[in-house]
Amino acid sequence: MSKLSPSELPIIDFALLSGTEPQRKEILEKLGQAARDIGFFYLINHGIDRKLSDNVQRVARAFFALPQDEKLKVKMANSPHFRGYNLAGVEITRSKPDFREQFDIGAEREALPVTADSPTWQRMQGPNQWPDALPELQIVITHWQQKMTQVALELLRAFAEALHLPRHAFDNLYGDYPNEHIKLIRYPGRADSESRQGVGAHKDSGFLTLLLQDDRPGLKVEVTPDNWIAASPLPGSFVVNIGELLELATNGYLRATVHRVVSPQAANERLSIAFFLGAQLDMVVPVYPLPEALAQLAQGPTSDPLNPLLRDVGWNYLKGRLRSHPEVAQRFYPEHTN
C-alpha cells in the first residue's frame, strides 16, 4: 500500500473495530499505516458520549476561571508526584517556557513508601491535588479518565493486531498500575510581538495520547522534517498520536511524531484536554518481534541527544518531568538538579 498523504491527518473509525471481519481487517491495516507513516490521526465514533466530553470541557473552563489564589492552592510545586496547577510560562519545553495554563492529574493512588534503596522514580506515584473550590472537577474528570482508559486500551490492542502480534501483547507493560495522565490546558492569546510557543516541539513519552480539542486551531504536526501540518479541530473526534514507548517497542516501526502548539492570537484562548496512556513505572520496554515484512521497515527509534530515550519506563518518565518542571525538581529531587 502506498504511503499516506502528508497534507492531512487520516481518520480512523473506531466503531469498525467491532464490525465485520472485512471491516476489521481494513481498519487495522489503515490504523497500522497511519501510525507508521504519520504517527497522528483523528479517531471518530469512539464511544465517548458527547455530553461527557462537553462536561469535561465545561469543568475545565470552570477551573481556569477560579480566582488565582484558589488555583495556586493546588500548584504543582506542592507535589512530588508532579500533580497540580501551573501558571502559563512555568513548564519548559526545549529550554523555553510554554505559554499554557494547565492542571495535571494522574491515577489516584497512595504514595509509595520510599527508602534509601528505592528508585527515584518511585516518588512519582501518589495522590492528586484537587481544588476545594470546585469539587465537581474530581467527579467529572475521574469518570472521564475511566472511560478514556477503556478506549485507549482497546486502541492499544488494535495496534498489536495491526502489527500481527497477539492482541494482548502490550498488556503486561500497561500492568496493574499504569501511569495514566490527564492535562487540562488553557492557551491564552498572545500578541504577535510575544512568543507564540503554546508548547514547544516535542514527542509524547507514553503509549498513546488522545486529545480533546475545542474549536480553536493551534496544534501542528511535523510529518516530515520542517514540514508542519495543522491538526485542525474535527468535531466529535480525538486527535491520537503515538508515544515513545510504542516507538521503542516496535524498534521504530511505529512513529512517535514531533508536534507543537502555536498560541492563539491576543483576545482569544484555546482549551484542550489530553489523556495519556502510559506504562507501569517498574517496567522495561522490550523490542517486540514483528513479522519479517514489517521488521524490515523498522528504522530504529529516533532519540534526541538532549533527551535520550530510555527503556526503563520510570526513569524515562522521570527525566522528562524533571526537565519540564524545574520548580518540582529543585524542591523534591535536588539530587537530580545542577
Q: Looking at residue 1, what is its pLDDT? A: 43
Confidence of residue 4 (pLDDT cuts 50, 70, 90): low
Percent of residues, the chain, with pLDDT higher than 90 = 79
pLDDT given for residue 338 in this prediction? 67
Is the distance from CB of 216 to CB of 268 less than 8 angstroms? yes
- Single-letter amino acid code for the residue at 40: F
Q: How confident is the model at residue 307 (pLDDT cuts 50, 70, 90)?
A: low
Please choose, from the candidates 223, 191, 214, the residue with its C-alpha nearest in 3D space to the C-alpha of residue 35. Answer: 223
Is residue 304 very low, low, confident or very high in pLDDT (cuts 50, 70, 90)? Answer: low
> What is the Cα gyration radius of the chain?
19
Which pLDDT belongs to residue 306? 61
Give me the pLDDT at residue 10, please. 95
| Eight-class DSSP state of 77 | G
Q: Is 195 exposed, middle or buried (0-12, 13-18, 19+ CB in 10 A)?
A: middle
Query: Is 207's pLDDT higher than 50?
Result: yes
State mean pLDDT over 231-252: 93
309 pLDDT higher than 80: no
**pLDDT tens for each residue of 103-141:** 999 999 999 888 889 999 999 999 999 999 999 999 999
Q: Which residue has the cell 502480534?
A: 165
**For residue range 60-112, what is the model confidence (pLDDT) as tens digits?**
999 999 999 999 999 999 999 999 999 998 988 888 999 999 999 999 999 98
In tens, the pLDDT along 127-186 reads 999 999 999 999 999 999 999 999 999 999 999 999 999 999 999 998 888 889 999 999
Residue with cell 481556569: 64
Sort residue 131 into left (φ over 0), alpha (ψ -120 to 50) or beta.
Answer: beta
Alpha-carbon span 147 to 263, nearest angstrom: 29
The residue type found at 70 is E
CA atoms of 246 and 208, how far apart (whole Å): 8
Q: Where are the domains of the chain?
A: 11-336
Q: Tens of pLDDT along 6-55?
A: 568 999 999 999 999 999 999 999 999 999 999 999 999 999 999 999 99
The CA distance from 328 to 237, in Å, is 34
Q: How far apart are CA 113 and CA 32, in angstroms?
A: 41
255: which 3 cell numbers? 512513529
Which comes out higher in pLDDT, residue 300 or 169? 169
Q: What is the DSSP letter of 265?
A: B
d(CA 199, CA 323): 14
Pick the CATH number of 11-336 from 3.40.50.150, 2.60.40.730, 2.60.120.330, 3.40.605.10: 2.60.120.330
Whole-angstrom distance, CA of residue 102 vs CA of residue 84? 8
Residues 124 and 313 sit within 8 Å (Cβ to Cβ): no
Predicted pLDDT of residue 227:
93
Is the overall model pTM greater than 0.85, yes or no? yes
Measuring CA to CA, which residue among 281, 257, 168, 146 is closest to residue 209? Answer: 257
Residue 62 phi/psi, 5-degree rounding, is -65, -40
